[in-house]
Protein backbone atom coordinates (compact mmCIF):
# COMPACT_ATOMS: atom_id res chain seq x y z
CA UNK A 1 0.00 0.00 0.00
CA UNK A 2 1.43 3.34 -1.01
CA UNK A 3 2.39 5.87 1.63
CA UNK A 4 0.17 8.89 1.63
CA UNK A 5 2.12 12.08 1.04
CA UNK A 6 1.40 14.84 3.53
CA UNK A 7 0.98 17.47 0.83
CA UNK A 8 -1.78 15.82 -1.18
CA UNK A 9 -5.13 17.54 -1.50
CA UNK A 10 -7.53 17.33 1.45
CA UNK A 11 -10.98 16.42 0.20
CA UNK A 12 -12.62 16.15 3.62
CA UNK A 13 -11.85 17.85 6.92
CA UNK A 14 -13.61 16.76 10.08
CA UNK A 15 -12.95 19.17 12.90
CA UNK A 16 -13.93 18.61 16.53
CA UNK A 17 -17.19 16.97 15.50
CA UNK A 18 -19.75 15.90 18.08
CA UNK A 19 -22.96 14.00 17.51
CA UNK A 20 -25.08 13.56 20.59
CA UNK A 21 -28.54 11.95 20.61
CA UNK A 22 -31.31 12.80 23.08
CA UNK A 23 -32.78 9.55 24.33
CA UNK A 24 -35.44 10.75 26.78
CA UNK A 25 -35.37 11.63 30.50
CA UNK A 26 -32.76 14.26 29.70
CA UNK A 27 -30.23 11.59 28.79
CA UNK A 28 -27.74 12.18 26.04
CA UNK A 29 -25.87 9.52 24.06
CA UNK A 30 -22.44 10.93 23.22
CA UNK A 31 -22.13 8.77 20.10
CA UNK A 32 -19.33 10.88 18.58
CA UNK A 33 -17.34 13.34 20.65
CA UNK A 34 -14.64 15.74 19.45
CA UNK A 35 -13.52 13.71 16.47
CA UNK A 36 -11.03 15.33 14.07
CA UNK A 37 -9.40 13.90 10.97
CA UNK A 38 -8.77 14.60 7.30
CA UNK A 39 -9.22 12.50 4.20
CA UNK A 40 -6.96 13.01 1.18
CA UNK A 41 -8.25 12.90 -2.35
CA UNK A 42 -7.95 9.44 -3.89
CA UNK A 43 -7.10 7.57 -0.69
CA UNK A 44 -8.98 5.03 1.37
CA UNK A 45 -9.27 5.87 5.02
CA UNK A 46 -10.32 2.85 7.07
CA UNK A 47 -12.28 3.30 10.32
CA UNK A 48 -12.28 0.50 12.88
CA UNK A 49 -13.50 -0.07 16.41
CA UNK A 50 -15.88 -2.23 18.42
CA UNK A 51 -19.62 -2.19 17.90
CA UNK A 52 -21.21 1.01 19.19
CA UNK A 53 -18.04 3.15 19.08
CA UNK A 54 -19.61 5.65 16.66
CA UNK A 55 -18.35 4.59 13.23
CA UNK A 56 -21.73 4.70 11.49
CA UNK A 57 -22.70 7.89 13.31
CA UNK A 58 -19.64 9.76 12.07
CA UNK A 59 -20.26 8.43 8.53
CA UNK A 60 -23.89 9.52 8.63
CA UNK A 61 -22.96 12.92 10.03
CA UNK A 62 -20.38 13.46 7.28
CA UNK A 63 -22.94 12.69 4.57
CA UNK A 64 -25.52 14.93 6.29
CA UNK A 65 -28.00 12.20 7.20
CA UNK A 66 -27.46 13.69 10.68
CA UNK A 67 -26.68 17.27 11.62
CA UNK A 68 -23.56 17.54 13.77
CA UNK A 69 -24.20 18.67 17.34
CA UNK A 70 -20.98 20.67 17.23
CA UNK A 71 -17.82 21.10 15.17
CA UNK A 72 -17.32 21.57 11.46
CA UNK A 73 -17.09 19.34 8.41
CA UNK A 74 -15.57 20.73 5.23
CA UNK A 75 -15.87 19.01 1.87
CA UNK A 76 -13.53 20.35 -0.81
CA UNK A 77 -12.72 23.29 1.45
CA UNK A 78 -16.33 24.37 2.09
CA UNK A 79 -18.34 23.78 5.23
CA UNK A 80 -21.27 21.40 4.68
CA UNK A 81 -23.23 22.88 7.60
CA UNK A 82 -25.34 25.35 5.73
CA UNK A 83 -25.61 23.71 2.34
CA UNK A 84 -29.01 24.34 0.81
CA UNK A 85 -30.90 23.99 -2.46
CA UNK A 86 -28.69 23.55 -5.50
CA UNK A 87 -25.49 23.26 -3.46
CA UNK A 88 -26.94 20.56 -1.21
CA UNK A 89 -28.13 18.64 -4.26
CA UNK A 90 -24.65 18.85 -5.77
CA UNK A 91 -23.13 17.65 -2.48
CA UNK A 92 -25.60 14.73 -2.42
CA UNK A 93 -24.33 13.78 -5.82
CA UNK A 94 -20.64 14.07 -5.00
CA UNK A 95 -20.83 12.04 -1.80
CA UNK A 96 -22.49 8.62 -1.81
CA UNK A 97 -22.91 5.85 0.74
CA UNK A 98 -22.84 2.05 0.52
CA UNK A 99 -24.50 0.17 3.36
CA UNK A 100 -23.78 -2.99 5.32
CA UNK A 101 -26.98 -4.83 4.52
CA UNK A 102 -27.35 -4.73 0.76
CA UNK A 103 -30.82 -6.26 0.99
CA UNK A 104 -32.35 -3.84 3.48
CA UNK A 105 -30.95 -0.89 1.57
CA UNK A 106 -32.46 -1.91 -1.79
CA UNK A 107 -36.19 -1.32 -2.34
CA UNK A 108 -37.65 -4.84 -2.87
CA UNK A 109 -40.46 -3.53 -5.09
CA UNK A 110 -38.18 -1.80 -7.57
CA UNK A 111 -36.33 -3.48 -10.43
CA UNK A 112 -32.57 -3.42 -10.25
CA UNK A 113 -32.52 -1.12 -13.28
CA UNK A 114 -34.75 1.43 -11.56
CA UNK A 115 -32.76 1.18 -8.33
CA UNK A 116 -29.55 1.92 -10.17
CA UNK A 117 -31.16 4.73 -12.17
CA UNK A 118 -32.69 6.44 -9.13
CA UNK A 119 -29.82 8.91 -8.85
CA UNK A 120 -29.91 9.54 -12.60
CA UNK A 121 -33.59 10.47 -12.26
CA UNK A 122 -33.18 12.63 -9.15
CA UNK A 123 -30.28 14.56 -10.65
CA UNK A 124 -31.78 14.51 -14.16
CA UNK A 125 -28.59 13.08 -15.61
CA UNK A 126 -30.08 10.77 -18.26
CA UNK A 127 -33.47 9.97 -19.75
CA UNK A 128 -34.93 7.34 -22.12
CA UNK A 129 -32.35 5.45 -24.14
CA UNK A 130 -29.37 7.20 -22.52
CA UNK A 131 -30.69 6.17 -19.10
CA UNK A 132 -31.05 2.56 -20.24
CA UNK A 133 -27.54 2.56 -21.70
CA UNK A 134 -26.08 4.03 -18.54
CA UNK A 135 -27.77 1.32 -16.44
CA UNK A 136 -26.29 -1.41 -18.66
CA UNK A 137 -22.86 0.22 -18.48
CA UNK A 138 -23.07 0.40 -14.68
CA UNK A 139 -24.19 -3.23 -14.41
CA UNK A 140 -21.18 -4.27 -16.48
CA UNK A 141 -18.84 -2.05 -14.47
CA UNK A 142 -19.73 -3.93 -11.29
CA UNK A 143 -19.56 -7.38 -12.91
CA UNK A 144 -23.28 -7.96 -13.55
CA UNK A 145 -25.02 -8.06 -16.90
CA UNK A 146 -27.75 -6.46 -18.96
CA UNK A 147 -30.44 -9.06 -18.18
CA UNK A 148 -30.19 -8.25 -14.49
CA UNK A 149 -31.83 -4.84 -14.98
CA UNK A 150 -35.39 -6.23 -15.08
CA UNK A 151 -35.06 -8.45 -12.02
CA UNK A 152 -35.80 -7.70 -8.37
CA UNK A 153 -33.30 -7.57 -5.47
CA UNK A 154 -34.50 -10.86 -3.87
CA UNK A 155 -33.34 -12.75 -6.95
CA UNK A 156 -29.70 -11.96 -6.15
CA UNK A 157 -27.08 -13.28 -3.75
CA UNK A 158 -25.60 -11.05 -1.02
CA UNK A 159 -22.47 -10.35 -3.06
CA UNK A 160 -24.51 -9.47 -6.15
CA UNK A 161 -26.77 -7.21 -4.11
CA UNK A 162 -23.74 -5.35 -2.81
CA UNK A 163 -22.61 -4.93 -6.44
CA UNK A 164 -26.05 -3.40 -7.17
CA UNK A 165 -25.54 -1.03 -4.22
CA UNK A 166 -22.16 -0.02 -5.63
CA UNK A 167 -23.65 0.53 -9.12
CA UNK A 168 -26.36 2.71 -7.61
CA UNK A 169 -23.74 4.82 -5.83
CA UNK A 170 -21.62 5.11 -8.97
CA UNK A 171 -24.53 6.19 -11.18
CA UNK A 172 -24.16 9.84 -10.22
CA UNK A 173 -20.36 9.95 -10.69
CA UNK A 174 -19.50 10.63 -7.05
CA UNK A 175 -16.06 11.69 -5.83
CA UNK A 176 -16.35 10.36 -2.29
CA UNK A 177 -17.93 7.11 -1.10
CA UNK A 178 -18.63 6.19 2.50
CA UNK A 179 -18.78 2.42 2.71
CA UNK A 180 -20.32 1.40 6.04
CA UNK A 181 -19.25 -2.20 6.61
CA UNK A 182 -19.92 -3.09 2.97
CA UNK A 183 -18.62 -6.64 3.31
CA UNK A 184 -19.51 -7.60 6.89
CA UNK A 185 -22.73 -9.37 5.89
CA UNK A 186 -21.08 -11.34 3.06
CA UNK A 187 -19.48 -14.80 3.01
CA UNK A 188 -15.72 -14.63 3.47
CA UNK A 189 -15.19 -16.01 -0.05
CA UNK A 190 -17.22 -13.14 -1.51
CA UNK A 191 -15.72 -10.39 0.66
CA UNK A 192 -12.42 -10.23 -1.26
CA UNK A 193 -14.28 -10.02 -4.59
CA UNK A 194 -16.27 -6.99 -3.47
CA UNK A 195 -13.18 -5.32 -1.97
CA UNK A 196 -11.20 -5.96 -5.16
CA UNK A 197 -14.03 -4.47 -7.21
CA UNK A 198 -13.98 -1.39 -4.98
CA UNK A 199 -10.20 -1.08 -5.39
CA UNK A 200 -10.46 -1.38 -9.16
CA UNK A 201 -13.17 1.28 -9.31
CA UNK A 202 -11.08 3.55 -7.13
CA UNK A 203 -8.13 3.28 -9.51
CA UNK A 204 -10.26 3.83 -12.59
CA UNK A 205 -12.37 6.70 -11.28
CA UNK A 206 -10.06 8.35 -8.76
CA UNK A 207 -12.59 7.78 -5.97
CA UNK A 208 -11.96 8.56 -2.32
CA UNK A 209 -13.26 6.07 0.25
CA UNK A 210 -14.10 6.19 3.92
CA UNK A 211 -14.22 2.47 4.61
CA UNK A 212 -15.85 1.44 7.88
CA UNK A 213 -15.20 -2.11 9.08
CA UNK A 214 -14.75 -4.56 11.92
CA UNK A 215 -12.25 -6.86 10.27
CA UNK A 216 -8.78 -5.40 10.82
CA UNK A 217 -7.03 -7.55 8.23
CA UNK A 218 -9.43 -6.50 5.47
CA UNK A 219 -9.14 -2.86 6.53
CA UNK A 220 -5.36 -3.05 6.27
CA UNK A 221 -5.65 -4.56 2.82
CA UNK A 222 -7.87 -1.83 1.40
CA UNK A 223 -6.80 1.25 3.39
CA UNK A 224 -3.95 3.71 2.90
CA UNK A 225 -4.51 4.97 6.43
CA UNK A 226 -6.52 3.62 9.34
CA UNK A 227 -8.30 5.40 12.17
CA UNK A 228 -9.25 3.58 15.38
CA UNK A 229 -12.34 4.64 17.33
CA UNK A 230 -13.30 3.90 20.91
CA UNK A 231 -16.49 5.04 22.65
CA UNK A 232 -17.13 8.03 20.39
CA UNK A 233 -13.49 9.17 20.18
CA UNK A 234 -10.83 8.72 17.56
CA UNK A 235 -7.89 7.33 19.54
CA UNK A 236 -5.27 6.72 16.85
CA UNK A 237 -4.77 7.41 13.14
CA UNK A 238 -1.79 6.52 10.96
CA UNK A 239 -0.61 5.08 7.67
CA UNK A 240 -1.93 1.50 7.74
CA UNK A 241 1.49 -0.19 7.69
CA UNK A 242 2.74 2.16 10.41
CA UNK A 243 -0.34 1.51 12.55
CA UNK A 244 0.01 -2.25 12.27
CA UNK A 245 3.80 -2.19 12.85
CA UNK A 246 3.88 0.47 15.57
CA UNK A 247 0.54 0.79 17.33
CA UNK A 248 0.87 3.43 20.04
CA UNK A 249 -2.52 3.53 21.75
CA UNK A 250 -3.14 0.69 24.24
CA UNK A 251 -6.56 0.06 22.65
CA UNK A 252 -5.03 -0.33 19.18
CA UNK A 253 -2.44 -2.70 20.66
CA UNK A 254 -5.23 -4.82 22.13
CA UNK A 255 -7.21 -4.85 18.88
CA UNK A 256 -4.17 -5.84 16.84
CA UNK A 257 -3.16 -8.54 19.30
CA UNK A 258 -6.38 -10.36 18.33
CA UNK A 259 -5.49 -10.48 14.61
CA UNK A 260 -3.94 -13.80 13.55
CA UNK A 261 -0.52 -13.51 11.86
CA UNK A 262 -0.07 -15.51 8.61
CA UNK A 263 3.49 -16.63 9.51
CA UNK A 264 3.11 -19.75 11.76
CA UNK A 265 6.25 -19.09 13.88
CA UNK A 266 5.32 -15.48 14.62
CA UNK A 267 1.71 -16.59 15.17
CA UNK A 268 2.87 -18.99 17.92
CA UNK A 269 4.53 -16.10 19.74
CA UNK A 270 1.54 -13.76 19.37
CA UNK A 271 0.40 -12.58 22.79
CA UNK A 272 -3.24 -11.65 23.06
CA UNK A 273 -4.10 -8.67 25.19
CA UNK A 274 -7.46 -9.43 26.76
CA UNK A 275 -9.23 -6.25 27.86
CA UNK A 276 -11.10 -6.38 31.14
CA UNK A 277 -14.76 -5.43 31.37
CA UNK A 278 -17.16 -4.15 28.73
CA UNK A 279 -17.30 -0.91 26.77
CA UNK A 280 -18.95 1.66 29.11
CA UNK A 281 -22.16 3.43 28.12
CA UNK A 282 -21.82 6.48 25.86
CA UNK A 283 -24.54 8.07 28.04
CA UNK A 284 -22.13 8.29 30.97
CA UNK A 285 -18.61 7.82 29.60
CA UNK A 286 -15.63 7.67 32.02
CA UNK A 287 -13.96 10.98 32.97
CA UNK A 288 -10.58 11.85 31.46
CA UNK A 289 -9.57 9.20 28.94
CA UNK A 290 -12.64 7.20 27.96
CA UNK A 291 -10.55 4.02 27.68
CA UNK A 292 -9.14 4.23 31.20
CA UNK A 293 -11.55 1.73 32.78
CA UNK A 294 -10.13 -0.99 30.54
CA UNK A 295 -6.62 0.26 29.87
CA UNK A 296 -3.79 -1.99 31.12
CA UNK A 297 -1.49 1.08 31.27
CA UNK A 298 -3.82 3.61 32.93
CA UNK A 299 -2.20 6.21 35.22
CA UNK A 300 -3.68 8.63 37.79
CA UNK A 301 -3.82 11.49 35.30
CA UNK A 302 -5.96 9.39 32.91
CA UNK A 303 -9.02 9.78 35.17
CA UNK A 304 -8.50 13.52 35.58
CA UNK A 305 -7.64 14.91 32.17
CA UNK A 306 -8.77 14.22 28.65
CA UNK A 307 -5.68 13.40 26.56
CA UNK A 308 -5.18 15.69 23.56
CA UNK A 309 -5.28 14.51 19.96
CA UNK A 310 -1.66 14.95 18.85
CA UNK A 311 0.52 14.15 15.88
CA UNK A 312 3.32 12.40 17.78
CA UNK A 313 5.22 11.28 14.67
CA UNK A 314 4.79 12.54 11.12
CA UNK A 315 1.24 11.59 10.09
CA UNK A 316 0.77 9.42 13.17
CA UNK A 317 -1.90 10.80 15.50
CA UNK A 318 -2.77 9.47 18.93
CA UNK A 319 -4.75 10.55 21.94
CA UNK A 320 -3.05 9.11 25.03
CA UNK A 321 -1.25 10.62 28.03
CA UNK A 322 1.63 8.16 27.59
CA UNK A 323 2.81 10.19 24.60
CA UNK A 324 2.39 13.64 26.14
CA UNK A 325 5.42 14.89 28.01
CA UNK A 326 3.40 17.43 30.00
CA UNK A 327 1.08 14.66 31.18
CA UNK A 328 3.95 12.40 32.24
CA UNK A 329 5.44 15.29 34.25
CA UNK A 330 2.08 15.90 35.95
CA UNK A 331 1.76 12.18 36.66
CA UNK A 332 5.15 12.25 38.40
CA UNK A 333 3.93 15.17 40.48
CA UNK A 334 0.80 13.23 41.54
CA UNK A 335 2.88 10.47 43.14
N1 LIG B 1 -30.34 7.46 16.28
C2 LIG B 1 -29.77 7.16 17.44
N3 LIG B 1 -30.37 7.48 18.61
C4 LIG B 1 -29.80 7.21 19.80
N5 LIG B 1 -28.62 6.57 19.93
C6 LIG B 1 -27.98 6.22 18.81
C7 LIG B 1 -28.52 6.48 17.50
N8 LIG B 1 -27.65 6.01 16.58
C9 LIG B 1 -26.64 5.48 17.27
N10 LIG B 1 -26.82 5.60 18.59
C11 LIG B 1 -25.90 5.16 19.66
O12 LIG B 1 -24.65 5.78 19.40
C13 LIG B 1 -23.59 4.89 19.66
C14 LIG B 1 -22.77 4.73 18.39
O15 LIG B 1 -23.52 3.99 17.44
P16 LIG B 1 -22.99 3.65 15.99
O17 LIG B 1 -24.09 2.96 15.28
O18 LIG B 1 -22.43 4.87 15.37
O19 LIG B 1 -21.80 2.64 16.29
P20 LIG B 1 -20.96 1.72 15.26
O21 LIG B 1 -19.54 1.92 15.62
O22 LIG B 1 -21.38 1.99 13.88
O23 LIG B 1 -21.40 0.25 15.71
P24 LIG B 1 -21.54 -1.08 14.81
O25 LIG B 1 -20.16 -1.60 14.63
O26 LIG B 1 -22.37 -1.97 15.66
O27 LIG B 1 -22.21 -0.71 13.53
C28 LIG B 1 -24.21 3.61 20.16
O29 LIG B 1 -24.20 3.63 21.55
C30 LIG B 1 -25.62 3.67 19.62
O31 LIG B 1 -26.50 2.95 20.45
S1 LIG C 1 -4.58 8.03 28.30
FE2 LIG C 1 -4.19 6.61 29.99
S3 LIG C 1 -6.00 5.32 30.11
FE4 LIG C 1 -6.04 6.36 28.14
S5 LIG C 1 -5.09 4.94 26.75
FE6 LIG C 1 -3.48 6.29 27.44
S7 LIG C 1 -2.60 5.27 29.24
FE8 LIG C 1 -4.54 4.26 28.80
MG1 LIG D 1 -22.24 0.80 12.38
pLDDT by residue (tens digit) across 38-55?
999 999 999 999 999 999
Please indicate, yes or no, if residue 146 is contained in any of the structural domains. Answer: yes
Q: Could you give the number of structural domains in the chain?
A: 1
pLDDT for 259: 84
- The pLDDT of 197-202, averaged and rounded, is 96
Residue 81 is assigned to a structural domain of this protein: yes
Atom 10 (ligand 1): residue with closest C-alpha? Answer: 31
In a domain, 310, yes or no: no
Range of the domain at 112: 10-223
Is the model more confident about 6 or about 298? 298
Q: Is residue 200 part of a domain?
A: yes
Residue 227 pLDDT class (50, 70, 90 cuts) = very high
Give the ligand at the shortest distance from the Cα of 229: 1
- Residue range 153-178, pLDDT digits in tens: 999 999 999 999 999 999 999 999 99
Residue 166: inside a domain = yes
268 domain residue, yes or no? no
- The per-residue pLDDT for 5 is 55
Asked whether the predicted pLDDT for residue 1 surpasses 80, the reply is no
Rounded to an integer, the average pLDDT of 8-21 is: 96
Write b or e for each residue in 123-159: b if 16 or more Cβ atoms lie within 10 A of its Cβ, otherwise e: eebbeeeebeebbbebbebbebeeebbeeebeebebb
Whether the pLDDT of residue 212 is over 90: the answer is yes
Where residue 93 sits, what CATH number does that domain have?
Answer: 3.40.50.300
Pocket mutation for ligand 1, best pick of 21, 231, 251 (most atoms within 8 Å of C-beta)? 21
Residue 269 located in a structural domain: no
Distances in Å between the Cα of 11 and the Cα atoms of 5, 45, 65, 75, 107 are 14, 12, 19, 6, 31
Average pLDDT of 66-71?
97
Q: Is 102 a domain residue?
A: yes
pLDDT(224) > 90? yes
Quote the ligand 2 centre to 302 CA distance (angstroms). Answer: 6
Amino acid sequence: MSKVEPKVEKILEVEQVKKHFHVGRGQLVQAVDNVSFEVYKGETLGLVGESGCGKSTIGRTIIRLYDATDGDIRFKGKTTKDLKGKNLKQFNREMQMIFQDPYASLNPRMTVGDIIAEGLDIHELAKGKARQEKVVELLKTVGLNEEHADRFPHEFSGGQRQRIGIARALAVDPEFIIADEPISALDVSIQAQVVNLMKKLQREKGLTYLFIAHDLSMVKYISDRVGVMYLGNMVELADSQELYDNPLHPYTEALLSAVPIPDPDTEKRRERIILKGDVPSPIDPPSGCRFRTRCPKAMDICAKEVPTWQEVRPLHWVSCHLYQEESLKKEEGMK
